[in-house]
Structure 1
């Protein structure tokens, strides 16, 4: 059940078509009914159990459940996308490899797969203009560098994490900008982008290695900043742990930090902050 289904139910109560008691019962029982249905209809086995869906999440939090693709079987992903999509709303799947994304596109031909961001949507949301990738195609020179939210990367190797954030933001109806490859090894590259970065309401900064870019930017602009440490770097970066600790210890104030490689989490937090 999403907000449109709830509004329809309440209209039926207002028009006398549904008794208030029946509506209350439906609202209370729906989450459990959907969970039981998902478990019983998934035909899961001990080796491949079904999925339990949370169809009320959008009512509670404003954002529906998103399917984390990594580690799931194709059977589980298909059941999750089909079940969450019963309300007619689009479904987002993250962390997909190319083969699974192509397979999902065959199962849900109205969807869209963005391999660069490892994302899939079951159908284009009405609030998104154009494709999930939007203007962020192969021609990096044409990527917009401005928006209410601007995603910034220290290096080109951080771009996949940044694109996960970009795709999630577009799925949520936002039009972010993207400024790639402006890390501290060549900090002068930031200068042409400073007007757009200063005009943004919020920045998402993805950086690996020593993760210094987040602290640098927080000292240059007034917007709050969400730092995303990436697992990019040599051995002593410890798979992103070095960048994570550096960001947590940022000298400049106004920096919040999400988990390593969590572009999705940064985008979800950014969308919530802008909705306040």
Structure 2
């Protein structure tokens, strides 16, 4: 940092160049394999999120404790099972800072809460076709609400009982939602139906709910990618997190 500031004072780099280089240095290395991005929110508008799968409990504890000590922003840990949370929660500590651990069992997300999130103006609607799709919808919900926006959810209103859908869509439009996230497995038809009823962005999330040719969510993914309703954006299978962040990129630029 001192070297960069000296170059700025000497006129060897511009103010904008100095700012860019300082941001690039805001990555903390923890051991040989972990690099913690301390200023992700400054660049992207969304705080650091850690994918827990394939990381050891020791790595997750190290990441969380280091973040608490060196950052004042909240931290998101995704795809963390409840049994793993029970194993690590007592190892998360700080001598100098107050924080809360908020765990959503359905979404498998842990929020390390260092500060309260500022409430914002926009609403995002989240719809799931069946109850088996709810964990993916909940993942998106946590991500959106952690950024200060509100969500309106309606679960288990798939095309098998399509009469359930229309009142819920009407309610969400009345509430002035700006984006709709629609999660569906099996044949994945629900996002196409919803997109044919509304004039706002629709994000389709295929889920791994299904059997036979639909097993693993492939049939739902293919269906959404070739929807007859134009303008649907589609994220990867079970990617509620990605859908939530994409919705935020829309509402944060309104």
- TM-score by length of structure 1 reads 0.77
1:181-192 correspondence to structure 2 within 5 Å: 181-192=156-167
Does 162-171 or 207-216 show the bigger shift? 162-171
Picking from 173, 177, 186, the partner of 2:148 is: 173
Picking from 23, 28, 47, the partner of 1:35 is: 28
Picking from 86, 96, 106, the partner of 2:90 is: 106
Q: Note if contact 1:161-1:262 (Cα within 8 Å) is conserved in structure 2.
A: yes
1:88 Cα shift?
Answer: 1.3
Report what 1:194 is aligned to: 169
Partners of 2:134 and 2:232 lie apart in 1 by 20
Residues 274 and 29 of structure 1: CA distance in aligned 2, closer, same or farther (over 3 Å): closer
Report what 1:268 is aligned to: 245
Report what 1:208 is aligned to: 185
Tell me the C-alpha RMSD between the 2 structures. Answer: 2.5
Residues 124 and 234 of structure 1: CA distance in aligned 2, closer, same or farther (over 3 Å): farther
Deviations 1:177-228 (A, max 9, x none): 1100010000000122122232321100000000000000000111110000
Q: Select the structure with the greater relative contact order (CA < 8 A; seq sep ≥ 6).
A: 2
Normalized per residue, which structure has more helix?
1
Secondary structure in 2 matching 1:53? strand
Partners of 1:26 and 1:252 lie apart in 2 by 44
1:64 Cα shift?
Answer: 2.4
- Across the two proteins, how many residue pairs are aligned to each other? 233
Normalized per residue, which structure has more strand?
2
Q: Which runs of 5+ in 1 are unaligned?
A: 1-12, 40-48, 130-146
Work out whether 1:58 is the aligned partner of 2:41.
yes
Report what 1:76 is aligned to: 59
Q: Which runs of 5+ in 2 are unaligned?
A: 94-99
Q: Note if contact 2:51-2:78 (Cα within 8 Å) is conserved in structure 1.
A: yes
